[in-house]
């Protein structure tokens, strides 16, 4: 979605690294939640689902919100720069 001429821009690359780090953290939480729940073998299945997917859903929603917010801020900055000349 980003034009080729902007893909090597240092600001774009820094923003991309931040977004990637947030999503990497979200995937890490998913893995840890599943491993931790598997190690608690005696939990009822509905509690296992809660412990596996509760943190995962929360972190994934945060990652989506963060991504949208950061992208919108970057678009606003770009639009302001274009309008100023």
Give CA–CA dist 48/2, Å, rounded: 40
30 in Cβ contact with 56 (< 8 Å): yes
What's the mean pLDDT when you consider all of the chain?
88
Q: Residue 50's pLDDT is what?
A: 84
Q: What is the pLDDT of residues 46-58, one digit of tens each?
A: 888 888 888 889 9
Q: What is the pLDDT of residues 12-35, one digit of tens each?
A: 899 999 999 999 999 999 898 888
Percent of the chain with pLDDT over 70: 99
Q: How far is CA 15 from CA 41, 61, 66, in A?
A: 40, 19, 11
Q: Residue 34's pLDDT is what?
A: 85
Q: How far is CA 58 from CA 15, 16, 31, in A?
A: 22, 22, 14
71 in Cβ contact with 78 (< 8 Å): no
């Amino acid at each position: 979605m980003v034009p080729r001429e902007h893909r090597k821009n240092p600001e774009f690359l820094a923003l991309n690294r931040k977004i990637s780090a947030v999503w990497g953290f979200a995937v890490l939480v998913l893995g840890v939640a599943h491993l931790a729940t598997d190690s608690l073998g005696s939990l009822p299945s509905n509690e296992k689902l809660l412990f596996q997917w509760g943190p995962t859903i929360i972190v994934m929603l945060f990652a989506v919100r963060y991504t949208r917010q950061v992208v919108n801020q970057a678009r606003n900055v770009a639009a302001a720069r274009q309008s100023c000349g």
